[in-house]
Amino acid sequence: MDDDAGQIQHTHSVSAGLDYPGVGPEHAWLKDIGRAEYVGITDEEAMAAFHQLTRLEGILPALESSHAVAYGMQLAAAMRSDQTILINLSGRGDKDVQTVAELEGISL
Amino acid sequence: MSNRIDRRFKALAEQHRTALIPFITAGDPEPGWTAGIMHSLVAAGADLLELGVPFSDPAADGPVIQAASERAIAQGVSLVRVLEMVREFRQTDVATPVVLMGYLNPIERYGHAEFARDAEQSGVDGILMVDCPPEEMAHLRGKLDEHGIYPICLIAPTTTPQRMSLIARQGSGYIYYVSFKGITGANRLQETRLEQPIREVRAHCHLPLAVGFGIKGPESAAAVAGLADGVVIGSALIEQLADAESEQQACTRATDFLAPIREAMDNTGL
């Protein structure tokens, strides 16, 4: 996420915790040794997952965690119903209610 | 190994004078003016020059230096360009030490070996990388050593005595003591409170000690000069240069800003 001169590029993510142009050393290592696979999720997919989990389970995931939920749903679609997926919800979405309301034009 | 930094601090110590170290952001306000401004600073009494390498994500810089970096980056100032500025300065000044201050990523991109080689050829004497802790410095340090370039290390008010010893072993040239917990240019300097921490740093590090962050003019510079071996002034100087309309004007402002500080520093203790 830097240019040829080593200047860091601007980033965008709907979730503040992901709006950052860096990767921690643990993740970089896990990727390099092939132990973890990393995928991308768009703002829209994350928002849809936020609503889905909230409506179906009454659990508000943080917008960061909503990215994982979105990918979990994509994976699940290709899996058997007796297989299990574990998603770590790294944070709660109460903190993001304002952001979601603003994005969707809801006045609180 | 001795480089310009050692020679300069040695000469100053013999004269019982404190080094005046102005900091400017390379390429601000105009890339073509930097070498000229550097010469003006030397003419006004600078002993050593710190040249900021503009970086997009500066962790330690206050709003003034951040804005200066942004202006320089907008005009295409890269590390390559900064080295060209030093080369231009060196055409007529081979004595004044020049230290590049900045962040590691542009050097990572450049390549440690390539950077050390080109920096030496340009006439750089030291580099101060704010986000390179001594534990992570080994590879870069090896390359710098091959080219006689000094890594200058920072010590902060929060640095433990154990780390001071580690930093003292890794650093060369001088120690940059950050005068308070905060960012460059903030109004938090209390000169009288520096005495004790400076004594502590000196107990662990035998390199010359320069103090920076929050020194704004003759009065604070003179107060710090009584305690340290060097006084670094950045934000207050950069503010003077920011809206200069010509190189001539920028150079005049640099001189007018620095000369009274030099005078105040040289008069301490007399």
Verify whether residue B50 is a known catalytic residue: yes
- In this prediction the pTM is 0.87
Provide the pLDDT for residue B182: 78
List, in sequence order, every residue forming a beta bridge with B155; answer none if it has no partner: B177
Provide the pLDDT for residue B246: 97
CA–CA gap between residue B243 and residue B160 (Å, rounded)? 41
Residue with tokens 């009288």: B192
Q: What is the mean pLDDT of each run of 10 residues along chain B (270 residues)?
A: 89 96 97 98 98 93 93 96 98 98 96 98 97 92 96 94 91 92 76 87 94 91 94 95 97 97 82
Among residues B50, B84, B118, B229, the one annotated as catalytic is B50
For residue B59, the chain A residues in CB contact (below 8 A) are none
For the record, the structure tokens of B98 come out as 């020049």
CA–CA gap between residue A84 and residue B86 (Å, rounded)? 61
CA–CA gap between residue B161 and residue B226 (Å, rounded)? 23
CATH number of B4-153+227-260: 3.20.20.70
Choose among A5, A9, A21: nearest Cβ to B106.
Answer: A5
Instruction: Identify the CA nearest to B140 among candidates B174, B91, B105, B181.
Output: B105
- Print burial letters for B172-182: b (CB count within 10 Å at least 16), e (below 16): bbbbbbbbbeb
Torsion angles phi and psi, residue B230, rounded to 5: -155, 150
Is the ipTM value over 0.85, yes or no? no
> pLDDT digit string (tens) for B139-149?
999 999 999 99
Provide the pLDDT for residue B2: 67
- B109, A21: Cβ pair inside 8 Å? no
- B56, A7: Cβ pair inside 8 Å? yes
What number is the average pLDDT over the span A13-31? 91
Under 8 Å CB pairs connecting chains A and B tally to 29
* Class (C level, CATH) for A16-103: alpha beta
DSSP state at residue B158: T
- A6, B106: Cβ pair inside 8 Å? yes
Provide the pLDDT for residue A108: 86
- A8, B57: Cβ pair inside 8 Å? yes
For residue B79, the chain A residues in CB contact (below 8 A) are 5-6
Choose among A6, A9, A21: nearest Cβ to B110.
Answer: A6
List, in sequence order, every residue forming a beta bridge with B22; answer none if it has no partner: B233
Alpha carbon of residue A27 to chain centroid: 15
Q: Where are the domains of chain A?
A: 16-103
Mean pLDDT of chain A: 94
Q: Where are the domains of chain B?
A: 4-153+227-260
CA–CA gap between residue B1 and residue A2 (Å, rounded)? 35
Q: Chain B residue closest to A7 (CA)?
A: B56
Provide the pLDDT for residue B37: 98
- Print burial letters for B7-21: b (CB count within 10 Å at least 16), e (below 16): ebbeebeeeebbbbb
For residue B80, the chain A residues in CB contact (below 8 A) are 5
Residue among B57, B75, B80 with most chain A CBs within 10 A, to mutate: B57
Task: Count the Cβ atoms, other than its own, within 10 Å of residue B42.
Answer: 21
Q: Please name the helix (run of DSSP H) or strand (run of DSSP E) that holds residue B232, with its range, or none.
A: strand B230-233
